[in-house]
């Protein structure tokens, strides 16, 4: 049901957004026990919707036989992947002011929300999982980013049903998406259709899960550059750890 018309001036807008978030959370809570958790991002924080007891949720999926292919059936979209922060921050180096960004496989939209700080004219956070889209939309609303981030369904393996945007996107980005080998070819075809002239596609992957085959395949149609970014973090016990992320950049030749 759409929000009521604004009859009381600007003050009516926030109430409308809050109502949409409340409705969305009520729907999500019919399937998941969730709560917002603060995550530190540069000089601020983001509130991110999290499943409160993920092990219990996974046990329920196993009992109902819902996990047949772990890479596809596990709720990986609900995890806050460090690569999303790495890619989000890296996008700041790509001259984002005034550009259009599409994030593929956005999950709960961490990368898009980080990137929203850097001056993109428009951001589309997309995923092919309905649950991921609900979490992403809730996060966008909670962090008051609905004027900058649009949440849309997208499955790059169904070209007849993918999104059509006049002019395409200046930047298409994804983190931890290349682990599915059978996604590589349809993904490259999607980039060919939707990457604007002079545009770039950026993929961030934990080096332990890197897929060199993707870069070789992409080199047939795009100019490919690769590099690594080292990131220090702390594990659940507080011990410092260092991860290396591969950044693969595709450009039209």
Q: Domain limits of the chain?
A: 80-251
Question: Can you give the pLDDT of all 253 residues of the chain as single tens digits?
Answer: 445 443 333 444 455 556 999 999 999 999 888 899 999 887 789 999 988 765 554 455 445 555 455 445 455 677 888 899 999 999 999 999 999 999 999 999 999 999 999 999 999 999 998 999 999 999 999 999 999 999 999 999 886 655 566 778 999 999 999 988 999 999 999 999 899 999 999 999 998 888 889 999 999 999 999 999 988 766 666 677 788 999 999 998 7
pTM confidence score: 0.84
Q: SS3 of 222, please?
A: coil
CATH class of 80-251: alpha beta
- Residue 12: the pLDDT is 44
DSSP letters spanning 77-136: GGS--HHHHHHHHHGGGG--TT-EEEESS-TTTHHHHHHGGGT-SEEEEEES-HHHHHHH
3-state helix, strand, coil in the chain (%, to 5): 40, 30, 30
- Residue 2: the pLDDT is 46
């Amino acid at each position: 049901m759409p929000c009521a018309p604004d009859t009381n001036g600007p003050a009516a807008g926030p109430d409308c957004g809050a109502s949409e978030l409340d409705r969305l959370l009520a729907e999500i809570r019919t399937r998941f026990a969730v709560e917002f958790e603060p995550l530190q991002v540069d000089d601020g924080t983001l509130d991110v919707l999290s499943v409160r007891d993920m092990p219990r949720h996974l046990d329920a999926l196993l009992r109902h036989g819902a996990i047949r292919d772990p890479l596809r059936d596990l709720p990986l979209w609900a995890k806050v992947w460090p690569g999303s922060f790495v890619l989000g921050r890296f996008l700041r180096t790509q001259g984002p002011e005034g550009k259009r960004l599409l994030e593929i496989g956005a999950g709960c939209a961490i990368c898009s929300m980080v990137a929203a700080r850097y001056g993109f004219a428009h951001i589309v956070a997309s995923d092919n999982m309905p649950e991921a889209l609900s979490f992403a939309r809730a996060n966008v609303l909670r962090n008051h980013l609905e004027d900058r981030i649009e949440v849309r369904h997208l499955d790059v393996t169904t070209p007849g049903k993918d999104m059509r945007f006049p002019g395409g996107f200046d930047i298409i980005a994804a983190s931890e998406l290349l682990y599915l080998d059978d996604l590589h070819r349809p993904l490259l075809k999607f980039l060919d259709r939707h990457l604007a002239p002079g545009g770039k596609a950026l993929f961030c992957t934990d080096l332990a899960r890197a897929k060199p085959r993707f870069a070789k395949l992409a080199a047939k149609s795009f100019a490919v550059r690769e590099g690594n970014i080292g990131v220090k973090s702390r594990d659940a016990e507080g011990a410092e750890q260092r991860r290396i992320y591969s950044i693969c950049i595709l450009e039209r030749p």
